[in-house]
Amino acid sequence: MENQTNISDMHAEHRQWQQDLAFYREEMTIFGDRLREVVSKNPPPDVVTWVVHFQNQFVIQNQMIDEILQSVRSHEHEMKQLIEQGTQAVDGRLVGHHAEARGKVQVFSRLYHALKNDLNQFLSKHLVGQAAE
């Protein structure tokens, strides 16, 4: 029974990661809209350079989301096979894959929040500053 709980716990964590990553992806879409707003105001070239930088970071972040989600799907498939086989023991490899995925999600989250912080500083400077002009 304890192993089933572990599989259930892993599954619950996967679901949480999927929800968080979907939220981050949606948020990046909103950020992209804000960047387009900055560009529409005829900014100087150095501002455009920063807009391109952030857009490139969004592409990288979305690729990371895709990789993490693929890893989660693969891990879910492994867990499903164990359950279907009636296996009572959680394979050490399965636990290792889960820990690795957790690490990727944690790193992604830190990088994402740092990017979001930088972007918000940029937007507050360039959207608020332009609105006052």
pLDDT in tens, the chain (133 residues): 444 457 888 899 999 999 999 999 999 999 999 999 999 987 889 999 999 999 999 999 999 999 999 999 998 998 888 888 877 566 777 888 889 999 999 999 999 999 999 999 999 998 865 544 4
Question: What is the amino acid identity at position 9?
Answer: D
Range of the domain at 95: 2-132
For the chain, the first-to-last Cα distance in angstroms comes to: 65
Decide: residue 26, CB within 10 A, 0-12 exposed, 13-18 middle, 19+ buried.
exposed
Q: How many domains does the structure of the chain reveal?
A: 1
